[in-house]
Amino acid sequence: MFLRRRFCSLTCANSRDTLKKGTFHWRARRLRQPKCEACGRTTSLHVHHLDGVPSHNDPSNLQTLCVTCHNFWHDTLSRLGLPTAGRMPALF
């Protein structure tokens, strides 16, 4: 058991200097709304970062979208050649 340890102690294991992409997404998901802000769907919800930066998890920079609206919005902006994501308007 001792030889399989990756860290010298619990203090060392719990000290993380760098945050990974998954950590930013987890933090954003905590601020997710109960329904899609574009179509009103309540399942398969994602968090969309308005400025396109996953580490910027300020509530004013987040929009809750379902997977369909999220993919549609990014594909449309990519097709138009726009660099930043922005807020998707409501469809209802």
Using the Cα atoms of residue 62, residue 67, residue 70 and residue 75 in order, give the sign of their dihedral: positive
For residue 49, what is the enclosing H or E element?
A: strand 45-49
Task: List the pLDDT tens digit at each of the 92 positions of the chain.
Answer: 566 777 677 766 666 656 666 677 777 788 889 999 999 999 999 999 999 888 888 899 999 999 999 999 999 989 999 877 789 999 87
**Residues in contact with 67: Cβ distance below 8 Å, sequence separation at least 6, in sequence order:** 44, 45, 46
For residue 63, what is the enclosing H or E element?
A: strand 62-66
What's the predicted TM-score (pTM) here?
0.71
